[in-house]
Structure 1
Amino acid sequence: MRFPRPIDAFVAALTLALGAAACSAVPAGDEPAGRKPDVGFFSTLPIYWGEGAFGAMLDGSAKPDWVREEMETRLTMVPLDTLEAEALAGLKRVVLAQPRALAPSENMAFDAWVRKGGRAVIFADPMLTRHSHYPIGDRRRPQDVVLLSPILDHWGLALTFDDAQPAEEQSVALDGVDIPVRLAGRLQLAPAPAAGDCTLHADGLAARCAIGDGHVLVIADAAVFDWEGDAPAPPERRAALWQTLATLLSGK
């Protein structure tokens, strides 16, 4: 897919803007100068550990996923296998990328963490398109259909899916940056008062929610992670990834 913009200059400008935002968004004394901010990462996607042979992951011979490599240029990723209070303690930023269904106690702990000032980006895809080596039904396979209704409902969001939409990858502008999407969902606001103050963006692809003292960006798709193969991810895809993660750093 070609993007009709001078993308190299755009990515350079975005990198500088995000770097400045990262410096201004972290209060003085909150984190040591020059230290990359810690970001909890909770996902069923093989981004942190990979989907290759376990031995290759242990001895370091497996090639890291491009998303992990890209994120670790500016962030310190902290892999999470639970969203219970003790796992979230000490973190200020969390990414949920096509997570598994949360236990009731995790829903409560995560909501409380956000209300105390936590910042989160959630990729909630109702029809995952990233390739997996494992067949449907294998527990090692990423979550094909996200199951986050309890926490989304609590915040006043409903995730919908149009099965008549085109199957090809498309792009949707989010804050002026083209985000790749494929078989994306759409978010809707609940008609009744909810526990979060949410606004929709990009025709329902995304929602920003102010929840207590915290902030959450929900994106109803995870195709930004889909790039595969030996070739490096193109600049426009890396720019799209950082656009979705910018809320963790910019304070917006």
Structure 2
Amino acid sequence: MRTALLLAAPALLLLLCGMPALFRTGQADPLGWAMAALILIPASAALSLWRGGAHALWAGAGALTGVLTFVWIVAGRAPDAGAALALAAIMLVAVASGSLLPRRPAWGIAIGLLAAAAIWWSGREEVRPVAGPKPRLAVISGLPLFWREGQGGMDARADAPIVSVLRTRFDVNPLDSALSQGMARADTLLLAQPRGLAGAELAAIDTWVRKGGHAVVLADPLLRWPSVLPLGDRRRAPAVSLLTTLLAHWDARLLPPDSLEEERRFLAQGQLLTIAAASGFEIRGPSCRTEEEGLIATCALGRGRATLIADADVIDDRLWLADPAKPLQPRQWTADTPGLLTGWLGGEALARPRGWLRSEAELRAAIRWAVLAGIFWAGLGSLLLDRRGRGGIASPRGKSSEEKG
């Protein structure tokens, strides 16, 4: 029983120490337990001293099994293979470091530093700009995507986090009007909750799309984006979508919001969107079809196409980013919004797929099964391994029979 408890303890401690990272972003990512893996160094040192190196290795394997079991169940999908292998390598190095510490401290410390370096490297995942020319992306929006609200002059110029991400895949060009020259040169258009557009501008957008353009339209029936500007200030983004005429021309109608609350919405392919006061589209013609219970509509228009999203709040960094200062680090994302928007716009993929905490029910089930897996593994180890701890210190019960003789 004592051996089983010693073998199970590292797995349970590791699982608990990785929980803060899970709750901070909602990402069920094996590498979220990379920093917590350092606890295997003292745990392996103790096990190696008391029982032997085989026990330390067995406990490390059990800890890895527990984490991967937890991640699989809580996200409802298999962990990313690359992330799982990286965590396994980090944990193996940590176990080796702890196992060597009692006998060869210098080697143990050196390998421990290697584990720390591997953890630091695993946290360097970042979205980097693509090489070569980028597609030209025109952006027409009333949202504060290129300036800070409440400031003026040069101090007001600043990219919102979502724009920082888009610049890695596109040549982003903000436009004040759809009649400008930049519109004619654009490969893709992002139309995000714009202010009232003149009839000529709406006609220009429709013509541009039908000639082969690709537009992504974020139309919000009730914008929840916080603003420091007073009500009535014309610099504020429109509280409701002003694209009714254009959408109707494309055979789509934006419905009123179903709820005023934020909602974590999992799409059919498993990606996560956090939406606020979103609704859906009603299709009134053959040009468009809806997806994701009406949240998204795709329209074939002449030689071009349009992707309609019934929420503009989705690109508010408060709904997809844990640290506003680090938009290019996928480990800081709390939703798949950057990757989804980039994909809708036709850009290259940003990062590997993420697993997400789906619900409290999955969390409880994942904890239960991970603990059971750890207990089973520890019990199996106590039966298969030498309980007297070969290679460890002498049994406290006294001398062996040979010494007594």
Same fold (TM > 0.5): yes
Partner residue, 1:135: 230
User: Take 1:125 and 1:243, find their aligned partners in 2: how far apart are those partners?
Assistant: 17
Q: Structure 1 vs Structure 2: percent identity of aligned residues?
A: 33
Residue equivalent to 2:142: 44
Unaligned ranges ≥5, structure 2: 1-22, 32-78, 84-126, 349-405
Aligned to 1:207: 297
2:342 is matched by which residue type in structure 1? L
Tell me which residue corresponds to 2:326.
232
User: In the TM superposition, what is the alpha-carbon distance from 1:250 to its structure 2 partner?
Assistant: 5.8
The reply on whether 1:80 has 2:175 as its aligned counterpart is: yes
Q: Which amino acid aligns with 1:41?
A: V
Distance verdict in 2 for CA 1:135–1:7, change over 3 Å: farther
TM-score after normalising by structure 2: 0.50
Kindly indicate whether the alpha-carbon contact (under 8 Å) linking 1:121 and 1:216 is maintained by their aligned counterparts in 2. yes
Cα deviation for residue 167 of structure 1 reads 1.6
Give aligned pairs, total: 226
Alpha-carbon distance in structure 1 between the residues aligned to 2:27 and 2:338: 18
* Partner secondary structure for residue 317 of structure 2: coil
Please report how far the alpha carbon of residue 175 of structure 1 lies from its aligned counterpart in structure 2 after TM superposition.
4.0
Q: Decide which of 233, 238, 242 is 2:339's aligned counterpart.
A: 242
Larger proportion of strand: 1
1:57 partner letter: D
| Residues 1:88 and 1:221: Cα distance change in structure 2 (over 3 Å) | same
1:170 to 255, 264, 270: 264
Instruction: Spell out, residue by residue over 1:178-216, the C-alpha distance to the aligned partner (whole angstroms, 9 max, x if none).
Output: 1110100210111xx46xx21101100010111011011
Distance apart, 1:223 and its partner CA: 2.1
Give how far 1:148 is off: 0.6
The correspondence of residues 35-114 of structure 1 with structure 2, limited to 5 A, is 35-57=133-155, 64-84=159-179, 86-114=181-209
* Corresponding residue of 1:181: 275
| SS of equivalent residue, structure 2 residue 185 | coil
Match of 1:146 in 2: 241
In structure 2, the partner of 1:27 is none
Which has more helix, going by share of residues? 2
Larger Rg: 2
Task: Quickly say closer, same or farther: Cα 1:4–1:242, change in 2 above 3 A.
Answer: closer
Q: 2-side partners of 1:142 and 1:166: how far apart?
A: 18
Contact 2:147/2:158 (<8 A) preserved: no
Amino acid at match of 2:309: I
Contact in 2 for aligned 1:41/1:77 (Cα 8 Å): yes
* Shift, 1:3, TM fit: 4.0
CA–CA distance in structure 2, aligned partners of residues 39 and 170 of structure 1: 28
CA distance in 1, matches of 2:158, 2:266: 30
Taking a change above 3 Å as real, the CA distance of residues 232 and 38 of structure 1, as seen in their structure-2 partners, is: same
Q: 1: distance between equivalents of 2:30 and 2:225?
A: 24
1:1-12 aligned at under 5 Å gives the runs 3=26, 5-6=28-29
Deviates more, 1:84-93 or 1:126-135: 84-93
Contact 2:264–2:275 (8 Å) recurs in 1: yes
Q: Secondary structure at the match of 2:255?
A: strand
Q: Aligned with 1:161: secondary structure?
A: coil
8 Å CA contact retained: 1:83, 1:106 = yes
Residue equivalent to 1:26: none
Residue range with higher mean Cα deviation, 145-154 or 65-74 = 65-74
Q: 1:172 to 1:124 in 2, by over 3 A?
A: farther
- Give, in angstroms, the shift of residue 176 of structure 1: 2.9
Which residue number corresponds to residue 210 of structure 2?
A: 115
Residue-by-residue CA offset, 1:97-123 (whole Å, 9 max, x unaligned): 111122111111111100110011110
Cα distance in 1, alignment partners of residues 172 and 249 from structure 2: 28
Deviation at 1:152, TM superposition (A): 0.4
Report if the CA contact (8 A) 2:209-2:304 is conserved.
yes
Q: CA 1:56–1:92 in 2, change beyond 3 Å: closer, same or farther?
A: closer
Q: Distance in 2 between matches of 1:7 and 1:150?
A: 47
What SS is found at the alignment partner of 1:245?
helix
Q: How does 1:23-38 map to 2 (within 5 A)?
A: 34-38=132-136
